[in-house]
Every structure is written in C-alpha cells, then in structure tokens.
Amino acid sequence: MKGPPLKPTPIPRGVSLDSPVDRLRGVDAKLSGKLLKLDVATIRDLLYLLPRRHNDFSNFASISELVVGEEQTIVATVWEAREKTLGQKGRLKATEAVVSDETGNIRVVWIGQPYVARVLKPNSRVALSGKVEAYRGQLQFQSPEFEILDKQESLIHTGRLVPVYPGTEGLTPRRLRSIIWQALEQWVPRMEDFIPEDLRKRAKLAPLPEAILQGHYPDDLISLERARKRLAFDEFFLIQMAVLKRRRSWRDAAEGISVQANPKVRDGFIASLPFSLTDAQERCLWEILADMARGTPSMNRLLQGEVGSGKTVVALAGLLEAVASGYQGSIMVPTEVLAEQHFATVSRLLGGLARPLREENLITVYLDSLPRPISVGLLTGSTRAALKRELQQRVSEGTLDIAIGTHALIQEGVEFPRLALAVVDEQHRFGVMQRAALRQRSGTTPHLLVMSATPIPRTLALTIYGDLDVSTIDQLPPGRQQVLTRNVPPERRDAAYGFVRKEVRNGRQAFVICPLIEESDAVEARAATEEYERLSTEVFPDLRLGLLHGRMTPGEKEEVMGRFRNGDTDILVSTAVVEVGIDIPNATVMVVEGAHRFGLSQLHQFRGRVGRGENKSYCLLLSDYSTPEAKERLSAVERIHDGFQLAEVDLSLRGPGDYFGTRQSGLPALRVARLSDHDLLKSAREEAAMLLQDDPDLRKPHHESLAREVARFLDRVRAEVS
C-alpha cells in the first residue's frame, strides 16, 4: 500500500523548523520534557528522529488466511469492543474486541489498554497489524497496532512499513508516531534542500523532503534504502565540510615555525638508546621532521601505532629537534597516571645521555651537540602548589624546554612563549576543542602531533581526523611476541587462577583487570576493590597483591606501580587505568574480568601490557556472558592479533558511537550513516573538497542554505563535545 499522502496544513505565524517542539499541536511542556530525553528540542530535531527499524505490516491477509506467529495485517469491521478486568483480583484492565471480514471473525485483546474500548465503535472499519497467536484452540491478536479507517485514510500505524522509534518512559510508540506524522505533514513540503542540485544529481541522491518522508514512512525497502543513502551522505558531507574547513583554517593560520633538523642532535639521541629504531619508526620520524622543517603551514599530523610500537620515542626525537632550535615542546595526555608514565618513559629514554639530573617532577640532561642542558618537567592538577607555580613560571619564561602534563597545560596561567611542537597523546579522549585550546596557549602557531595507540580504521580516521595527515608505525620492535589469548568460560575460572599461580611461582607477575571501582547493581561486573579483597583472602592468600584505580592520589598510584615495577607485588588488581602507558616486562599474564564489557580495541590494549619481556605471555578473558554477540566478540580477540584488523571488526560489531564514545572523540553522533559506507564517505569527501575549492567561504548565492546547514552542524558538534 502506497502512502501515506501528505496533507500540508497551515503554519502558525512565527513558527519555523528551529522553533521548540511545543509549537506543534498537542505538545505541552510535559511532553516536551519527554521528547528532550530523545534529544528532540526543536521541530527539526523531530524530523531527524529517524526510526531504529520498521515493522513490516504490509502483509495483508483475510482472517481465514492468518498464520500463527507471523506479522500480518487485516482490514475488518468491529462487532463489539468492551473493557475487561483480568487477573484474580481484577486489577489488570484490558480491552476485548471481536472483528470480522467476509471470511470469518477473530478475537482481539489489548492488555493494559482499556481506553481502546472507547475508541473502537461497532461497525467501524479498522486495520490491525501484529502477530497472531493461538489461545484456547482459537486464533487471536494480542495488543496489535490498530488504525480506524473511517477517520483517516493515511495509514501511519498499520498496513505498511511502520516506523519503530527509540523509546522513552511515558511516551507510547503510537503517540510518538502521531506527533512525528503531524510534523511531517506540516514541514516536509516546506523543507529546503541544502545540497546544490548539480551535486545532488551527480551523486544520484534523492531530494531532501523525499528522503525525510521515506526515511520515516517508506513505500518499500528500495525507497527506504534510497532515503538512507541520501541522509547518510548528508552526514558524511557535513562532517567533511567541517573537517576540510578546519584543515584549511589551520593551513591559512599565522605563519608557522621552521624547525630545521640537526643531524647531530637526532643521531646522538638515537645512538644513546638501548635499541634500534624500526624502519616504520624511521619513516614516521622523517615525515614529522619534514613537516616541521617546512614551517608553514604548521604540521597537523596523526601518529598511530600498536601498543608498544614506539610512538613516544619518535615524538621525543621531534621534541628534541624543536628544543635544539631554541623552542619549547609539550606532551598533553588525558590522565595523571599516563602523564606520570610519560614522564617516567621520557626520563628513561633520556637516561643514556650525558649527566642526567633528576629532581621532583623535573629531569635535566645534556646533549653533546648543545651548549646548554635540556629540561623536562611534569605538570598535573595534583602537582603540589609551590612546585606547580615554579614550573608554570619556567614555562612562561621559556626556561622549561619540554612540559608533560594533563589538562593543566591548557589552563589559565600557563603560557608557552616559544612552543614549536605540541604532542597530544590518546587524542580521542580530548576532542577538537581542547586541541585548539593548546594552540591558543602559545604565542606561536605550533606544529601539532596527535598520537593514538588505538588502531583507527581508515574510514574512522577520515571522519574524525580528516584534518590531519596520518603516519602509521605498522611494525613492532624486534622481540615483541604474540600474546596467546584465551576466552575462559565460568567453569574454568579456577583453572585460570591455577595458571596465574604457576606463572608467579616461576618468577613472573600478573595483571587482573576489573571494569568498575565499586559494585553497581546496574552492572554485572566485579569491582576492583572487592575483587582485590576476594583474591587476597580466598584465592591467593599466600601471594602479594596490589590495588590500582583512578580514585587514588598520584602518590598512591606511583607507590603501587613502583612496587609492581620492582617485583615487590606478584599480582596487580586494577581498573582500566592500565589500558595505556604502563610497561612491566616481567608481567606475563593479563586476566580481564567481565571481558564482554570492554571494546575489542580496549581488550587489545590490555593484552599489549604483557608480552614485553623475553618470556611467553598470555591473556585470559573471563566472562560470565554467553550470548552469541559476546562469544563472537571475544572469539575475535582470540583469533586476531593485528590491532588494525581488530579495530575494523570492533567498528562493524559496535558502530562508531561506541567505538570511542561520541563525546570523547569530537565526532558528532551519526544518526543514519554507517562507517561501513566506504563509497558514500569517499564520494562525500570528494564532493566537499570540490565545492570548497570552488567556493571556500560558501559565499555564492546558491550555497546560502548550505552555509546555514554547515553552521548549524558545527553548533551541534560544539554542543556534543563541550
């Protein structure tokens, strides 16, 4: 059945698509509050509240043809409809009706919906859609969707592909469909298509009004996919417009700093290392140094690679080049644990240079090729006040060469007079706004190097990091071994503990990762604190256990990690704070509790914490979940040891919204597009680049509505990542 046809209705004066949703008929403040829980504040938001799926109620049948268990639709006449009470105490209200067509009659029951009896009048024609079940030897519909045909020829609840929207408490699916249908009738005929017509025809896209209507109420599955393609293209296109404009603004920004490579500095540092750089590290370092030497536009590069692939040493080589040229550098990370680990790693990497001098939160080293020492400082929110003031002053005076820290680096009071290279680690935890803020803390236009140990699929890199050039360390250093990974069922838990004990007896150490710090009724996960107590008293009373979680002070964390690093702790029970940046070569077992609760890339990160020494290492995934989805995901971690391949699987199983966490990544929530739409993304990127080359500021008259849409999109991104 085609339809439903639109019957445009007059619009009250002063109402637009961006008016609050309560300007629609029948939507009051209470209903607006419920819609806000679905992120619907305006009429435009309502039109873009697209269905999660559609129920296919287009399968019409006569009553005599009905089959038990199938979704079917009938058109029938109401004989009678009455309110009933059910249950022993008569507390459950319901409606019971009998309807008929020329082939027979059937009983219909709506449990918990006594109002239906008042709506269905005898002799009225009604369409009913739902599954048919057998009850006491007879067929019946239970709580089907219904529509009275005498009142409304446009079927919106039955008889077609019917939208199923996200739900919220206190708002019935039927009520939500009615509100959205009202908005569609009023506004779809008045929607302006912001995609220029020549582009739309070239990309073979449906007009926007058609795509919105068919996205909600498609004529058939082909129309639904055509609508999805258009709306998905719009999302990718707007993201690419924003990303490419940001790339252009970066390139057109103030003049950058030309940092000319000093071979003596680079060669002296590399020669001091206890290992050789891999070919991939050499290649990435060359790309970074070439960008820095060019000066303008400033480098804007993503350095990605597996856990343990050696990103920090590459970044440090770039920082030393900046300092050797008389400038400053910085490394900003999302957590204090990671900042402390970076400071420890940098201190260790510089330890082979002449006369390293270590103080609290400060290390000073000498390079043979430089007449003065190089200083590296650690600055976090927990740095004691007097030391923090001293370090901030040294940064502002330009006498601290490299500053490592958390968000403290971009807070008021910290100014870099000569910042040449800003390194941001684990970028997906920051978002685009904080990245921009780091540049604003400098009197110069610094080069930017973004590092990520989370392997990023190409489509996601293009989407989130489309404004960055990409360098990939796709080699692990010699000696890094594949970690044997096993998904351990609940009945094998004791065997897993026995294996951990055996490794400890052989002089090794182990991690046990738990998803939460404290027990929560809502999440079936073993809390780290309780797990630590249980393992200490019941499972490993004779072994030395440590506990690490994010609520500890930096001093407490460092003490715990120091004991583990020195071999004074056998088993470290921890939350996900060990995901990145902690290096214990003697640890050979990684046990992950509640493994189903983590993403595949995060599990891969945990696995990367072991296998760093010469001994065979193992990752044991413990989970009480046995759903097909959980089994499929954990099986992928068992089979796949390549982080980039695993990232693609993670993305296909979970979708982009969950991959990083939308608000963390700086990526706006994708409503329609899927990152598996490779061709659509490629097309959107090419079209956006072509259009911006022709009209960089969208000043041409026929781009007026597109300019408004891009501005509206950027407002949404800022709201989502702020």
Same domain, 504 and 576: yes
The verdict on 35 and 72 lying in the same domain is: no
Q: How far is CA 192 from the centre of its chain?
A: 31
Q: Are 154 and 268 contained in the same domain? A: no
Q: Do 273 and 372 belong to one domain?
A: yes
Q: What is the pLDDT of residue 520?
A: 47
Residues 351 and 497 reside in one and the same domain: no
Q: According to the model, what pLDDT value does residue 2 have?
A: 46
Handedness of CA 284, 287, 293, 297 (dihedral sign): negative
Of residues 675 and 225, more confidence is placed in 225
Does 139 fall in a domain?
A: yes
Helix (H, G, I), strand (E, B) or coil at 122: coil
For 688-714, the pLDDT digits (tens) are: 999 999 999 999 999 999 999 998 887
Among residues 426, 446, 473, the one where a domain terminates is 473
The pLDDT, as a whole number, for residue 57 is 80
Average the pLDDT over each of 416-420, 484-488, 496-500, 549-553 and give the range with the smallest value. 549-553
Task: Write down the pLDDT at residue 401.
Answer: 96
pLDDT band at 324 (very low <50, low <70, confident <90, very high): very high
Residue 247 has pLDDT above 80, yes or no: no
Given a cut of 70, whether residue 262 has pLDDT beyond it is yes
Least confidently predicted of 398-402, 481-485, 517-521:
517-521
pLDDT at 688: 93
Distance CA 537, CA 541 (A): 5
Residue with tokens 């692939």: 309
Q: Residue 403: pLDDT above 80?
A: yes
Structure tokens at 663: 């608000």
Q: Report if residue 344 sits inside a domain.
A: yes
- Written as six digits, the tokens of 702 are 């026929």
- What is the span of the domain harbouring residue 359? 263-473
**Residue 154 binned pLDDT confidence (cut-offs 50, 70, 90):** low
**CB half-sphere exposure, 660, CA atoms < 13 A:** 26
Are residues 159 and 183 located together in one domain of the fold? no
Q: What is the CATH number of the domain that holds 629?
A: 3.40.50.300
Q: Is the pTM of this model over 0.75?
A: no
d(CA 567, CA 560): 11
Instruction: Kindly state the DSSP code that residue 710 receives in the 8-state scheme.
Output: H
Q: Poorest-confidence range of 417-421, 457-461, 512-516, 562-566? A: 457-461
Q: Please give the Cα distance from 143 to 133 (Å, whole number).
A: 11
Domain count, the chain: 5
408 and 314, same structural domain?
A: yes
pLDDT of residue 472: 86
> Which DSSP state fits 658?
I
pLDDT at position 519:
47
Q: Per the structure block, which two tokens stand in for 303?
A: 């350095």
The answer to the question of residue 61 being in a domain is yes
Beta bridge partners of 357: 364
**Which of these, 182, 170, 167, lies nearest to 30 by C-alpha position?**
170
Position with higher pLDDT, 525 vs 71: 71
Residues 305 and 441 in one domain: yes
Model pLDDT, residue 677: 79
Q: Is the confidence at residue 250, as pLDDT, over 80?
A: no
Report the chain's mean pLDDT, rounded to a whole number.
84
More confident residue, 248 or 402: 402
What's the pLDDT score for residue 330? 93
Judgement on whether residues 424 and 498 belong to the same structural domain of the protein? no
What is the pLDDT averaged over residues 479-508?
92
Q: What is the domain-level CATH number for residue 42?
A: 1.10.150
In this structure, is residue 393 part of a structural domain? yes
**Lowest-confidence range among 44-48, 564-568, 607-611?**
607-611
Structure tokens belonging to residue 412 = 């008021």
**Are 93 and 54 a contacting pair, CB within 8 Å?**
no
Q: Which residue in the block uniquely carries the two structure tokens 């020494």?
A: 613
Query: Which own/partner contact pairs does 490-497 have at CB distance under 8 Å and 24+ positions apart?
Result: 490/622, 490/623, 490/624, 493/622, 496/591, 496/620, 496/622, 497/539, 497/540
On whether residue 720 sits in a domain, the answer given is: no
Integer Cα distance of 668 and 647 in angstroms: 19
pLDDT computed for residue 356 by the predictor: 74
- Tell me the two tokens of residue 492: 């094998």
User: Does any domain span residue 711?
Assistant: no
Q: What is the per-residue pLDDT across 622-664, written as a single tens digit (0 to 9) for each?
A: 988 767 777 888 999 999 988 877 877 776 665 544 444 333 3
**Which of 222-226, 456-460, 713-717 is modeled with the greatest confidence?**
222-226
